[in-house]
C-alpha cells in the first residue's frame, strides 16, 4: 500500500507541478513551524492543503507553480485539489490501516503480556503452594518428632518413678525385716534374762530352804544334847 501511494504521489506531482516530487508529510497545521532549525519560506518547497503540510523536493514557489498564497502560506490550487484529495484520502486510509495494524499489534502484545503475566502468576502461585506445602510438611514432621520425644520422655519418667517406688518399697521391706530381727533378738534377750532371773530366784529359794532345814536340824541336834 505504501508503494502504491508513493507511485500515485509521483504521478500527481509530475502532472501538476513541473519538476516537483510531492511527498505526503504532515508537519503541523500552522504557518511557520521550525523543524530542526527550519523555517518555512518561498524556497523551502512546503505547502499546506487539507489540514496537513506537504513538501515538494527542490521546489520553489512562484506565480504559476501550482500553489497560491492563502492566509500567509502556500496552498495547493483548487484545480489540482481533486486529484490531491484522492492522494490525501489514500494517505488517510494508509494511516488508518497503519493505526489499526499498530492497535492490533498493541492488543496482541497486551494479550501476550497478560498471558505471560498469568503464566508467571501461576508459576509463582505454584511455587508459593509448594513452599507452603513444604512448610506444613516440616511443621507436621516437627510436631510428630516432638510428640515422639515427649512420649519417650514420659516413658522414661514413668520408668524412673516406678524404679524409685520399687527401691522405696524394697528399702521399707528391708527396714521391716531389720526391725523384726531386732525385735526378735530383744524379745529373746528379755526371755533369757527372765529365765535367768527365775533360775536365780529358784536357786536362792532352794538355798534358803536348805539353810532353814539345816538350821532346823542343828537346832534339833542341839536340843538332844
Q: Block means of pLDDT (10 residues each) for the chain, length 225 residues?
A: 38 35 35 50 74 74 77 65 63 87 94 95 95 96 96 96 96 94 93 92 88 82 71
Work out how many domains the chain is built from and give that number: 1
Query: Has residue 118 been placed in a domain?
Result: no
What are 4's three cell numbers?
Answer: 502504491
Q: Which domain holds residue 27?
A: 2-101
How far is Cα 199 from Cα 57, in angstroms, rounded to an integer? 166
Question: Exposed (0-12), middle (13-18) or buried (19+): which is 5, by Cβ within 10 Å?
Answer: middle
The answer to whether residue 129 is domain-embedded is no
| Residue 8 near residue 90 (C-beta atoms within 8 A) | yes
- Residue 107 is placed in which grid cell? 492488543
For residues 14 and 8, give the distance between their C-alpha atoms in angstroms, rounded to a whole number: 10
Beta bridge partners of 38: 35
Task: Kindly state whether residue 138 falls inside one of the protein's structural domains.
Answer: no
Give me 99's grid cell: 493505526
CB-CB contact of 92 with 56 (8 Å): no
Within 8 A by CB and 6+ apart from 45, the residues are 20, 55, 56, 57, 58, 59, 60, 61
Taking the mean position of all CA atoms in its chain, how far away is CA 219?
Answer: 131
pTM above 0.95?
no
Q: How confident is the model at residue 161, as a pLDDT?
A: 96
- 177 falls within a domain: no
The verdict on residue 10 lying in a domain is yes
Rounded to whole angstroms, how far apart are CA atoms 152 and 217? 95
Report the pLDDT value the prediction gives residue 42, as an integer from 0 to 100: 74
Indicate whether 188 belongs to any domain. no
**Is position 181 within any domain?**
no
**Where does the chain show beta strands of DSSP type E?**
21-24, 46-49, 52-57, 67-70, 73-76
17/64 Cα distance (integer angstroms): 9
Non-local CB neighbours of 46 within 8 Å, separated by 6+ positions: 27, 40, 53, 54, 55, 56, 74
**Is 211 among the domain residues?**
no
- Residue length of the chain: 225
**b/e map 74-87, b = 16+ CB within 10 Å:** bebbeebeeebeeb
Amino acid at each position: 500500500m505504501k508503494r502504491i501511494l508513493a507511485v500515485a504521489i509521483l504521478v500527481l506531482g509530475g502532472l501538476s507541478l513541473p519538476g516537483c516530487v510531492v511527498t505526503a508529510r504532515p508537519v503541523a497545521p500552522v504557518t511557520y513551524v521550525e523543524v530542526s532549525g527550519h523555517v518555512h519560506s518561498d524556497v523551502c518547497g512546503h505547502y499546506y492543503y487539507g489540514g496537513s503540510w506537504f513538501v515538494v523536493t527542490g521546489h520553489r514557489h512562484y506565480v504559476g507553480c501550482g500553489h497560491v498564497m492563502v492566509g500567509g502560506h502556500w496552498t495547493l490550487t483548487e484545480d489540482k485539489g481533486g486529484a490531491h484529495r484522492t492522494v490525501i484520502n489514500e494517505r488517510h486510509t494508509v494511516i488508518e490501516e497503519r493505526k489499526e495494524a499498530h492497535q492490533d499489534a498493541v492488543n496482541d502484545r497486551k494479550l501476550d503480556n497478560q498471558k505471560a503475566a498469568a503464566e508467571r502468576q501461576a508459576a509463582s502461585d505454584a511455587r508459593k503452594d509448594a513452599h507452603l506445602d513444604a512448610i506444613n510438611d516440616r511443621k507436621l514432621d516437627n510436631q510428630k518428632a516432638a510428640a515422639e520425644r515427649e512420649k519417650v520422655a514420659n516413658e522414661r519418667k514413668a520408668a524412673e518413678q516406678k524404679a524409685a517406688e520399687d527401691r522405696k518399697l524394697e528399702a521399707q521391706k528391708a527396714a521391716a525385716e531389720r526391725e523384726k530381727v531386732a525385735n526378735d533378738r530383744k524379745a529373746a534377750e528379755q526371755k533369757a534374762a527372765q529365765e535367768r532371773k527365775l533360775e536365780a530366784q529358784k536357786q536362792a529359794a532352794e538355798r534358803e530352804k536348805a539353810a532353814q532345814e539345816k538350821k532346823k536340824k542343828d537346832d534339833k541336834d542341839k536340843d538332844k544334847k
